[in-house]
Every structure is written in structure tokens, then in C-alpha cells.
């Protein structure tokens, strides 16, 4: 029986319960972080492809993740979150092996590029299962009272892996080569599989489930805002290294570290605000911070100014995901929690999937800093969208009631839909 059916946890107990999940995500997500600063330079400088191809390589992971979110939510809801996480870890490990095979074929650039695309696609599928499963599993462990806290700790681990993994990957590359990076990246998810055996599994919920696209219909306003806010984040990770190189600056990986450190610090300091104040109120503060960070990156005349822009962007983006996520999870029944998390995080994939190609087109015409201006414009639209969320949600509920969807949904879910 879920411990939340017996008694709610205290904040300290909830945090202790979430730490093993955070460790699992950290180990698994290093498969994303370790090669992150290396891949754009590898594709551009070693394989000889242009910015557009760099953008597509970086976006291909998110596209694969997007296409598999529905399946990941289905696995988590029907087969259990633990199985989803385990399979995701195995796929993350396999992706690193494909990177290594690509390196061995670098003398044949087109074949090496195809292998990179394959590795990114496998990683995208693995990330989909991992994050969807961990979010559903951890929220099931601590209960809805701490849903925002669960998202905070998952995000801390993700961006710790990105912020710490990027410079660590660069160091490993200089010391031992790309093969060592691939080997380490392949081993870490397997260590996470050992750790997750000690965590109590959550059995699938027995309530009647609603369809995935009906879940999307319930949460889409929050997801669209999240996708728009993610475009600037995607542009940062796709083109920061090349922007630094174009300015003859060094230390692009430490710019990513600044983003990750600010992200983690903001979550540790203010991570409880979405649960206490409500997600919309928090998002109305964090999105303007993102805009400021992106504008600074766009206009940065010096390396330290760009570094500050990365940190401000990280601090702003940090709480946007849990802020909008808390509102999302309140609109679905518990037996569809995996589908809801899969659908919600899919909007991150949409944002990242758009960021690479769109930024590549803009960069080809106007230079690398223009990628950050594109992200700032997308966040401005997202901010306007968030300001109108209450009206949009009210309108959706009105039309769904007119069509009888709310009543059918409440009957299907035995009255468990919250805040509708």
C-alpha cells in the first residue's frame, strides 16, 4: 500500500524520500550532459557540417523523446513506473555505445553523422521513459502535496548533470578522448539500475483511465507556455559553444555550468514556492528573468557578460517547469499521472525540437547571437500567454461543459479530477 494512503509526509520526510530518485536521474541524465558541449563542435569542426546540421543533431534527441512520450506514459500507467525507468536507463546506455561507433567512423562523415542521429534518437527514447517514469514514481511516493517538490528535485538532478557534465565531458575528451566519454556515459545508467532496486515500486493505479489526447486537452495551455519558454534554453545549448568560438572566447562549457548552478541554487532556495503560492504566480516572475538572461546573451560584448546571462537564464528557467507543472498535475486523475507527465514534458521536447532548426535558420542569416534573440522573443510570447491563462482555462472548461466532456470525465475518473 502507498504510504500516502496512511499518513502524509512531513517536508523533511518528503525530501529524504525524493533523494534516491534525484540520484537516479543524475546518473541517467549524465548521458545527456557529458557529451553536450562536445557534440556541436564534433559535428561542426571534425565532421565538417554547418550550423543547420548542428541544430538538427541537437534537436533529434528531443524529437525522438516527443514521439515516444505517449508510449512512456502508457508504460508508466499500465506496467508501472519502475519498469519505465529501468528500460529508459538501458536505452541511455545504448546511445553512448552508438556515439562510440560514430567516432570510429569519423573518416566517413556521412556514416558517422547517421550513427550520431541514431544515438540521439535512442537517447531520446531512453530519456522519455526515464523522466516520465521518475516523475510518476516520485509523485506517487510523496503524494500530491509535494508534487512540485518532486519536480524540483528531478530538475535539480537533470541540470546538475548538464551543468557538471558539460565541463567534465570536455576534460575527459582532452585527457582520454571521445571513446572514454562514451564508455563512462554507457556505465553510469547501469549503476542507476542497481540503485533503483532499493526503492519501493508503486503499483499501477486501478482506476479507469482517460485517453492520452484527452489528457493533452486538459493541460495544453500550460504545455504551450512551457514549450515557448524552452526555445531559448534549447538555443543556449545548441549554439553557446559556437557563439563563444565566433567571439574568440574560451570556456563555453563553464557558461553551461553557470546556467546549471543558477538553476540548482534557485530550486534549492525557492523550490517550495510553486506548492505554496501557486504555479501561475511564480511563472509571472521567472519568465521575465529568462527574457533578461537571453537579451544579455544576445547583446553580450564580453565573455563575463555572456556568463552572467547564462546564470540569469538558468535562475529564471529553473522554476518555470515546476510552476506550470503543479498546475498541470492538478487537472488529471491519479491513474493518468504518467500520461499527464508524459504529455507535459512532451512540450519541452516540442520547444527543444523547434529550437534547433529555427535557431539554425536564424543563425545562418544573422549570426550566432541571434539565436538568443529568438529565444527571448519566444519567452515574451509565453509571458503574454501566462498572463491570460485564467481566461483560457475558464474558456476551455466552459466549452467542455457545454459539450458534456467534464461530466463524462468526472464519471470516468470517479470524481478524482481536481480543480475542474
Domains of the chain: 3-412 (1.20.1250.20)
User: Does the pLDDT of residue 138 top 70, yes or no?
Assistant: yes
> What average pLDDT does the segment 380-405 reach?
61
Phi, psi at 46, each rounded to 5°? -90, -40
> What average pLDDT does the segment 105-129 reach?
87
> What average pLDDT does the segment 305-322 reach?
90
> What average pLDDT does the segment 264-289 reach?
85
d(CA 117, CA 94): 13
Residue 391: predicted pLDDT: 54
Please work out, in degrees rounded to the nearest 5, the angle formed at the alpha carbon of residue 68 by the alpha carbons of 64 and 74. 170
Q: How confident is the model at residue 390 (pLDDT cuts 50, 70, 90)?
A: low
> What average pLDDT does the segment 126-142 reach?
89
> 180-213 burial, b if ≥16 CB within 10 A, otherwise e?
ebbbbbbebbebbbeebeebeebebbeeebbebe
User: Does the pLDDT of residue 418 top 50, yes or no?
Assistant: no
Residue 408: predicted pLDDT: 44
Amino acid at each position: 500500500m502507498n504510504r500516502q494512503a496512511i499518513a502524509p509526509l512531513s517536508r523533511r520526510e518528503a525530501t529524504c524520500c525524493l533523494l534516491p530518485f534525484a540520484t537516479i536521474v543524475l546518473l541517467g541524465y549524465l548521458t545527456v550532459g557529458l557529451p553536450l558541449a562536445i557534440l556541436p563542435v564534433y559535428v561542426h569542426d571534425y565532421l565538417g557540417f554547418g550550423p543547420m546540421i548542428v541544430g538538427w543533431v541537437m534537436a533529434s534527441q528531443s524529437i525522438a523523446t516527443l514521439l515516444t512520450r505517449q508510449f512512456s506514459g502508457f508504460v508508466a500507467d499500465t506496467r508501472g513506473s519502475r519498469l519505465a525507468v529501468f528500460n529508459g536507463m538501458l536505452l541511455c546506455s545504448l546511445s553512448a555505445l552508438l556515439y562510440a561507433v560514430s567516432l570510429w567512423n569519423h573518416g566517413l562523415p556521412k556514416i558517422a553523422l547517421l550513427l550520431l542521429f541514431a544515438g540521439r534518437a535512442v537517447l531520446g527514447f531512453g530519456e522519455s521513459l526515464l523522466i516520465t517514469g521518475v516523475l510518476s514514481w516520485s509523485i506517487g511516493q510523496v503524494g500530491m502535496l509535494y508534487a512540485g517538490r518532486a519536480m524540483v528535485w528531478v530538475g535539480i538532478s537533470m541540470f546538475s548533470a548538464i551543468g557538471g557534465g558539460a565541463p567534465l565531458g570536455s576534460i575527459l575528451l582532452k585527457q582520454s578522448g571521445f571513446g572514454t566519454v562514451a564508455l563512462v556515459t554507457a556505465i553510469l545508467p547501469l549503476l542507476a539500475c542497481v540503485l533503483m532496486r532499493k526503492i519501493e515500486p508503486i503499483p499501477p493505479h486501478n482506476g479507469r483511465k482517460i485517453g492520452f489526447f484527452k489528457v493533452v486537452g486538459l493541460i495544453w495551455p500550460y504545455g504551450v507556455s512551457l514549450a515557448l519558454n524552452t526555445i531559448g534554453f534549447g538555443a543556449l545549448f545548441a549554439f553557446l559553444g559556437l557563439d563563444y568560438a565566433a567571439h574568440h572566447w574560451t570556456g563555453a562549457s563553464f557558461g553551461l555550468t553557470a546556467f546549471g548552478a543558477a538553476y540548482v541554487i534557485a530550486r534549492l532556495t525557492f523550490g517550495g514556492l510553486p506548492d505554496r503560492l501557486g504555479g501561475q504566480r511564480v511563472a509571472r516572475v521567472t519568465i521575465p528573468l529568462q527574457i533578461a538572461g537571453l537579451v544579455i546573451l544576445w547583446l553580450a560584448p564580453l565573455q563575463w557578460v555572456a556568463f552572467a546571462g547564462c546564470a540569469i537564464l538558468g535562475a529564471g528557467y529553473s522554476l518555470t517547469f515546476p510552476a506550470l507543472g503543479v498546475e498541470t498535475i492538478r487537472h488529471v486523475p491519479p491513474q493518468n499521472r504518467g500520461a499527464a507527465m508524459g504529455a507535459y514534458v512532451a512540450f519541452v521536447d516540442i520547444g527543444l525540437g523547434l529550437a534547433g532548426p529555427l535557431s539554425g535558420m536564424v543563425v545562418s542569416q544573422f549570426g550566432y547571437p541571434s539565436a538568443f534573440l529568438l529565444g527571448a522573443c519566444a519567452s515574451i510570447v509565453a509571458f503574454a500567454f501566462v498572463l491570460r491563462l485564467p481566461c483560457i482555462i475558464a474558456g476551455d472548461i466552459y466549452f467542455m461543459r457545454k459539450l458534456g466532456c467534464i461530466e463524462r470525465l468526472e464519471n470516468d475518473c470517479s470524481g478524482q479530477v481536481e480543480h475542474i
